[in-house]
Amino acid sequence: RVNLLWLIAFFIISAFLGGSTIGLLIAVIADSIEETGPLNPIIVLPMINVSGFYISIKSITWPLFILSFISMPRFIYQGVMSLEFSNPGDYINNCRVNMPCINDLSQICNVLLPPSKSQICDPGQRFDFYQKTVWENFVISIGLLIGWRLLSFFVFYMRFREHHIRYGYDQELFA
């Protein structure tokens, strides 16, 4: 089934490739293995916080909103949610809310809303993502994966390249 293949693709990106990419970046930045422990939450937790899982993307402040564009978990989460709720008609047609019962206000009844008021159950409005399609989130995730890998390679190259040392005329060396 197509939905299962998309889900497997997002799982492979997030679990295997995404995690190793961030781990590679942390390993290149750190001078020793003891520094990788504190660097991991400094890099990973802001990405998770701006992914839209805890807080809606449209309600965060503008510096965090800018950070969310380089957050791979944001687009993976949006893709999986778009995949899961790809048919909003089922949720709209079966929209039920808990409200006080008409005959006995002390009890709570589960009421099926009429179609005119059932838009509150639309997952597209509830999650309110900018990128709505699964394919768009998948391509952005792959692009971020490649970008983070290139950044890791660039940091590695800049830190460990060979430096040419130019010796001036030193009388002690050439005496």
pLDDT digit string, tens, across residues 24-76: 889 998 988 898 889 888 888 888 888 888 888 888 888 888 988 998 888 88
Record the pTM: 0.74
What's the rounded Cα separation, in Å, for the pair 79 and 127? 12
pLDDT digit string, tens, across residues 123-171: 777 777 887 788 898 899 999 999 999 999 999 999 888 777 666 666 6
